[in-house]
Structure 1
Amino acid sequence: MMAWREAAISVLVVLVYAVQTGAWDALDNYGADPTKVSVSGVSSGANMAVQLHVAYSSSIMGVGAVAGGPYYCAQGSSNKAFYGECSTIGNGNNIDVQDLIDDTDAYAANGKVDATSNMASARVYIFSGTEDTIVPTAVVKKLKNYYDHYVNSASDIMTKYDLPAGHGFITTDYTNACDNNFASPNINDCNYNMAFEILNHIYGGNLVDPGSGTTLNGELLWFDQKPFFPYLWKINPFYMGMAYTGRIYVPSGCSSSNSGCKLHVALHGCGQSTYSVNDQYYMHTGYNEVGELNNIIILYPQGFPNAWYSNPLGCWDWWGYTNSQYATNEGREMVIIKQMIDRILE
């Protein structure tokens, strides 16, 4: 049985590799504002967003986390990530936030994450739905406790725990019932514009709300993620942790190479990459509309469902499937996404 399973995985990965090896445009440079870079995500994307913020806090000024736990919650353990205190059966009681703070401080002392003093002025948005049975609110509140330690002003941390939402990204009108839990495409209609609320809080509260009639006059582009990959991923698809292509929405006011626009990285959750839901995450979560009206470039890195990595849903690495330094500036996915950010800032 194991030999059959490994053979099937091998065929699947190689087939996907063959499909993806076409030529795609390189990620362009847009001269975005290096002081206005932010990141958000849902589920595994929330955990990755927090990791990116902590590791690169000198250059990422804000973070939005939807249904995610505190930094380094899994501590390298898939059991903690999926079967323990960080998710489904977790009630938050077994998460020692002080232990995670100590880990963060130790990483900072060793240069594996940026100085934690950078987080003092961070803008943070944290969400948990009351009907979420995948990552309970008690776990998400531990993320709030974590940021309370580092962020100076309580008003810089926005929380929302009162919406009867299940596990997924929340929108005004797309697509699942509000209380659905992890039903594809993991996007729930709760009459709440989460993309706007995240970005509006991060960028100071004065953004233009897109409403329902916003026209997208910018460009939604494919780009090649391969140039940012480590060597092993480039030559051996069995070890690939991210897709070969990503997406980026460039608002009509941000197309020049010295745009000065803001930049936001929007990270999908498990089961939400293009392989699982096609265009639904980057077309229907509402980020593009907010970006268009407020000159915010939206970057959508794409994960890859690779069973060889025990990651069949294409989750972002928040428990160590790519390498032991996954939550630091030596994490493979972390380095790749940071290089994408830097390219857009050029």
Structure 2
Amino acid sequence: MDLTFLLAIFVLFGPSEQFIFFGSGNPLESFNVDQTKISVSGISSGAAMATQMHVIFSRDIMGVGLIAGVPFACAGSVGSSLSCMSAPNLVSPAQLEATTSAGALVGNIDATSHMSHDRVYIYNGKLDSVINPGIGQKIADFYGHFVNPSSNIKTVFNVSSEHGQITDNFGGACGQLQSSNFINNCGYNAAYDLLNHIYGGQLQKPTAQTQQRGMLKSFSQSDFFYVSTPSMYSMANDGYVYVPSGCASKTKKCKLHVAFHGCAMYHDRIADAYVRHGGYNEVAELNDIIILYPQTIKSATNPQGCWDWFGYTGTLFATNNGFQPTALKRMIDKAASIA
């Protein structure tokens, strides 16, 4: 690579942040991960995917954070997804609980007993015009059936925010829909709050001076699709991973967290806005948490680049045989060195 180009990159980003090698095809590394500390979160359709991954693979995933999400198994079509997003009175947690228990009985998801002591964070903004704020309580009711004690479920429903990833230092006005990247600066660090809750309440909180001293780099998602290309299921060729400086040498055990972007927040559309400015990396840097950022793309059946929570990849989308969940679990297993 040309030395002048490298110097220009160094000047642009400075020595404290590493740049991304786009389209590199690099394999995802395996890390020294505490396999009891694997968690997931997401915004919007990413929250829907996060709850799917948590419920499907609850044996290995111990916590979940949902920002402007919907309950597990709420939709099986585009039509039913609209009710899940906008009509809390039509969402029955009891019915979803029964569907979940039935799925566990036939082996489509892990036994629900694995969720019993998990930690759950649920955020819904008061001004959300995409997901009815009342949906948040439906998610809490669903998880309340499986999780004990109730203090393991944290809800935040009192912030006057629009639909988006909520930060304390990046994005547009809190109460306005930011369609360019769906990141809102609300003076509230949702990434820290959810990670802190998931991991027991003792995480160090970033300040304005906290820097991302680790490495943010791409990895090949194609490696996790064995008989197809990622694009067949509306996933990108590359995903991204933030490796904190404390985890790079692999001499200490680190936590692993997967952060799912929302619709129209995939890298091809908003570049690194979510993977660099969503609030996760600074928390990760201070607390030795590796962050995986899987990526979607838009397609004919998925024009907004959403994660599949309503069946566009097939009827098994919310099971351990779903195309996206299967590939995503392979990523987790590789990063966490799960045999």
Q: TM-score, normalised by structure 1?
A: 0.89
Segments of structure 1 that go 5 or more residues without pairing to the other structure are 1-20
**Deviation string for 1:25-60 (max 9, x for gaps)?**
100001211100000000000000000000000100
Alignment of 1:150-161 (within 5 A): 150-161=146-157
- For the 8 Å contact 2:233–2:323, the answer to whether it is kept is no
In structure 1, what is the equivalent of residue 66 of structure 2?
65
Out of 289-298 and 170-179, give the one that drifted further: 170-179
2:123 to 116, 127, 140: 127
- For the 8 Å contact 2:45–2:69, the answer to whether it is kept is yes
Alignment of 1:208-219 (within 5 A): 208-219=204-215
The amino acid that maps onto 2:80 is: K
Segments of structure 2 that go 5 or more residues without pairing to the other structure are 1-21
**Deviation string for 1:176-227 (max 9, x for gaps)?**
1101225220000100011100100000000000111112221111111101
Take 2:137 and 2:266, find their aligned partners in 1: how far apart are those partners?
Answer: 26
In structure 2, what is the equivalent of residue 7 of structure 1?
none
Alignment of 1:124-203 (within 5 A): 124-181=120-177, 183-203=179-199
The amino acid that maps onto 1:247 is: Y
In structure 2, what is the equivalent of residue 31 of structure 1?
32
Cα shift at 1:96: 1.5
Cα shift at 1:24: 1.5
In structure 2, what is the equivalent of residue 14 of structure 1?
none
Secondary structure of 1:291's aligned partner: helix
Secondary structure of 1:137's aligned partner: coil
- For the 8 Å contact 2:178–2:184, the answer to whether it is kept is no
Alignment of 1:245-260 (within 5 A): 245-257=238-250, 259-260=252-253
In structure 1, what is the equivalent of residue 78 of structure 2?
78
Alignment of 1:91-130 (within 5 A): 91-130=87-126
Secondary structure of 1:231's aligned partner: coil
The amino acid that maps onto 2:27 is: A
In structure 1, what is the equivalent of residue 312 of structure 2?
321
- For the 8 Å contact 1:176–1:183, the answer to whether it is kept is no
In structure 2, what is the equivalent of residue 52 of structure 1?
53
Secondary structure of 2:218's aligned partner: strand
The amino acid that maps onto 2:326 is: V
In structure 2, what is the equivalent of residue 278 of structure 1?
271
Out of 255-264 and 290-299, give the one that drifted further: 255-264
Secondary structure of 1:150's aligned partner: coil
**Deviation string for 1:276-319 (max 9, x for gaps)?**
1000001111100000000000000001111x22x111100000
1:304 to 279, 294, 297: 297
Secondary structure of 1:52's aligned partner: helix
In structure 2, what is the equivalent of residue 292 of structure 1?
285
**Deviation string for 1:100-152 (max 9, x for gaps)?**
11110111001110010111101000000000011011112110110010001
In structure 1, what is the equivalent of residue 14 of structure 2?
none
CA change 1:339–1:167 in 2 (3 A) is same
**Deviation string for 1:247-266 (max 9, x for gaps)?**
10000111134541000000
Out of 174-183 and 99-108, give the one that drifted further: 174-183
- For the 8 Å contact 2:24–2:219, the answer to whether it is kept is no
Cα shift at 1:230: 4.1
Percent identity between the two aligned chains? 45
- For the 8 Å contact 1:30–1:258, the answer to whether it is kept is no
- For the 8 Å contact 1:30–1:259, the answer to whether it is kept is no
Cα shift at 1:233: 2.4
- For the 8 Å contact 2:68–2:136, the answer to whether it is kept is yes
Take 1:282 and 1:231, find their aligned partners in 2: how far apart are those partners?
Answer: 28
Q: TM-score, normalised by structure 2?
A: 0.91
The amino acid that maps onto 2:234 is: G
Take 1:281 and 1:328, find their aligned partners in 2: how far apart are those partners?
Answer: 27
